[in-house]
Structure 1
């Protein structure tokens, strides 16, 4: 009786092992097998360009408008920072701008007055010059008449005194004109300074406006929200991350090929990716980068034997059309195998043939 029970258990155990082996064998057969000469393969993971959406200025997070996993379009508002302090600064800058413009108006009015004074001083000096010329001619006639005895010495002395008086008046007019010119220059400088103050105030306002725009965090391109790094109410330093996006149009797999194959890899070469999560789906890609020097493959490579070799890193860019059609299914970090055709004359085997997708 005991022997019969033991025999049944052994048979059941063998059956389980056979079923497991058959399942593993079937799974192995379902995966693309080595297509032979003209092809190489490497293990890798799906990667996508990550974009950190960060605060330009230190401040408090006012609101985060997206959730992890959301698809966003370019230009979509993702989060807002508290901008109350910036708006107060803008109001202050606008007040300074108004004051500066008023100062310009006052300085320009003062300049006009100084120019009017200068014009009056020029007229006075011109008049004094004419008076001096007339006084000199009168003195010349008096001198001739006095020498001929036709004029008294008193008249001659009076004419000389008149010349001296007019000459002094002319000097005073010249000094007044110089003072008026200095006043014009001072007023002109004041106008320039006032206009400069306006330009400074306008630039300050424009700078604050730029900072206010930066307080609204938008998506620079379409993608998917990978992480909400910060929450409303958190205070961040300058450069503090709020949201992390992945660009669903820039997805690739990095893998490694041996030296003898790397020399035959051309940019634009066809690559077929088979992901562990969907072994029945072949993803089209093209080579977008080949390293110029060999390196030891990193620990992320799945096969230990590959990690012991010097290999060349290759980057395969996933077809953008397929990414756009299946944006909701794109996921970074998924492991898989990249099959690379290094001989364009070799046809792709049936297991790596592309199937039409909607």
Structure 2
């Protein structure tokens, strides 16, 4: 018996191959995918639970409200009082200056010349006053002598020993001496008035010279340098902008239901975005009497809730002074206020300083 394998069946000149058997997917790959999916679901669930827990932990109790705000401070423009040329600017941007510190000077060459001329006029008037006083003494002597001559001429005329011509001459000399005396007195008054006018002019020029030295009106940080030496400015021209750090506050906007119960002096809290881990104490120092954002109509409670009032939360001056080198206006943060002083601050809003 022939046990050789029969030749393959050929149909239309093509050999018929046996069909391929599909490979089975490994079970380990399926198990790994399942484990990864379950791990992702667990991680997402954990993240969601952590987020919910954080929201519950930081939730504000009833009676407390918060709002976004910006750290601000008053700006003072240091400007020229009179038109002139800037001689030198002594302060630079970012520099801390004390109240009364010289920050710039104007060119005072012309003012100094006018000041010296005014002092010279005062000296001249004082010399004229001295001369007038001496002239008064002289005219007083002449008037006294003329009076005596008139008296003698009158007695001689009464006794018949003097002529009327001599009496008239004595009277004329007396009138001349009196006029000279009055003129000398008027000269003294004119010299005194000239001295007063000259002194006033000197004081005016001295004031202009003094005002040409620009000083910081209060302690603060130079924010902007607006002019350079050599520039000619008109009266009121700005040279420097000073950031007054004596009062630093966070401006927030709250709805009417929050602003209504607030009173000046209420405690508040401030948390700044760059340092969220710290809580700064503050006080309510201003609450606007008019809404900042007002819809067209306020007929419904929903529309009245859109009324927003500006509130200032001022940081304690002693605390501000301690960290004044780090204070930067424009920083954003959160302000927290409470409608009732008896409401306790949550632990995460307890004061915490750097």
**1:217 aligns to 2:220 (yes or no):** no
Question: Where does 1:44-63 land on structure 2 (aligned, <5 Å)?
Answer: 44-63=69-88
1:300-327 superposed Cα distances (whole Å, 9 cap, x missing partner)? xxxxx99992122212111111110001
Partner of 1:111: 136
Query: Residue 253 of structure 1: CA displacement?
Result: 1.8
- Uncovered stretches (5+) of structure 2, i.e. residues with no partner: 1-28, 296-301
User: Is the Cα contact below 8 Å between 2:67 and 2:252 reproduced in 1?
Assistant: yes
- Once the two structures are overlaid, the 10-residue window that deviates more, 223-232 or 198-207, is 198-207
Unaligned runs of 5+ in 1: 136-161, 299-304
Match of residue 312 from structure 1: 309
After superposition, the Cα gap between the structure-2 partners of 1:238 and 1:34, relative to the gap in structure 1 and judged at 3 Å, is farther
Whether 2:78 is the aligned partner of 1:81: answer no
After TM superposition, give the deviation of residue 171 of structure 1 in Å.
Answer: 2.9
SS for the counterpart of 2:319 is helix
Q: Is the 1:294–1:311 Cα contact (8 Å) retained in structure 2?
A: yes
How far apart are residue 53 of structure 1 and its match?
0.8
1:268, 1:287 within 8 Å by CA — same for their partners in 2? Answer: yes
Max Rg structure: 2
Contact residue 99 and residue 218 of structure 2 kept, 8 A: yes
Q: 1:284 to 1:30 in 2, by over 3 A?
A: farther
CA contact (8 A) 1:297 1:308 kept: no
Partner of 1:226: 223
Distance between the aligned counterparts of 1:241 and 1:293, measured in 2? 32
CA distance in 1, matches of 2:71, 2:225: 21
- 323, 341, 348: which one aligns with 2:338: 341
Shift of 1:31: 12
CA-to-partner distance for each residue in 1:57-108, whole Å, 9 max, x for gaps? Answer: 1111111112111111112111111111111111211221222122212222
Please say if 1:280 is aligned against 2:305: no
Aligned residue for 1:205, secondary structure, equals helix
Runs of 4+ in 1 over 6 A off after TM superposition: 305-308
Distance 2:180 2:350 in 1: 90
Compute the displacement of 1:234 (Å): 1.0
What secondary structure sits across from 1:279 in the alignment?
Answer: coil
- CA shift, 1:22, in A, is 6.0
- Greater share of residues in helix: 1
Pair 1:318–1:214, CA change in 2 (3 A): same
**Larger relative contact order, structure 1 or 2 (CA cutoff 8 Å, min sep 6):** 1
Is residue 279–residue 353 contact of structure 2 (8 Å, CA) maintained in 1?
Answer: no
> What is the 5 A alignment of 1:244-263?
244-263=241-260
Cα root mean square deviation, aligned:
3.1
Deviations 1:266-317 (A, max 9, x none): 110011111222211212111111222323179xxxxxx9999212221211
For residues 165-204 of structure 1, what are the structure 2 equivalents within 5 Å?
165=163, 167-204=164-201
Please identify, of 86-95 and 323-332, the stretch whose mean Cα deviation from structure 2 is larger. Answer: 86-95
TM-score normalised according to structure 2 size: 0.79
Question: In structure 1, how many angstroms separate the alpha carbons of the residues matched to 2:180 and 2:55?
Answer: 96
SS of the residue 2:286 aligns to: strand
Q: Is the partner of 1:78 in helix, strand or coil?
A: strand
Distance 2:196 2:180 in 1: 24
Cα distance 1:307–1:256, how it changes in 2: closer, same or farther (>3 A)? farther
Shift of 1:175: 2.4
5 Å matches for 1:60-75?
60-75=85-100
Please report how far the alpha carbon of residue 344 of structure 1 lies from its aligned counterpart in structure 2 after TM superposition. 1.0
The 2-side partners of 1:229 and 1:297 are apart by 37
Q: How far apart, in 2, do the equivalents of 1:97 and 1:348 lie?
A: 71
TM-score by length of 1: 0.79
Whole-Å separation in 2 of the counterparts to 1:232 and 1:32: 57
**2:149 counterpart SS class:** helix
Contact 1:252 1:317 in 2 (8 A): yes
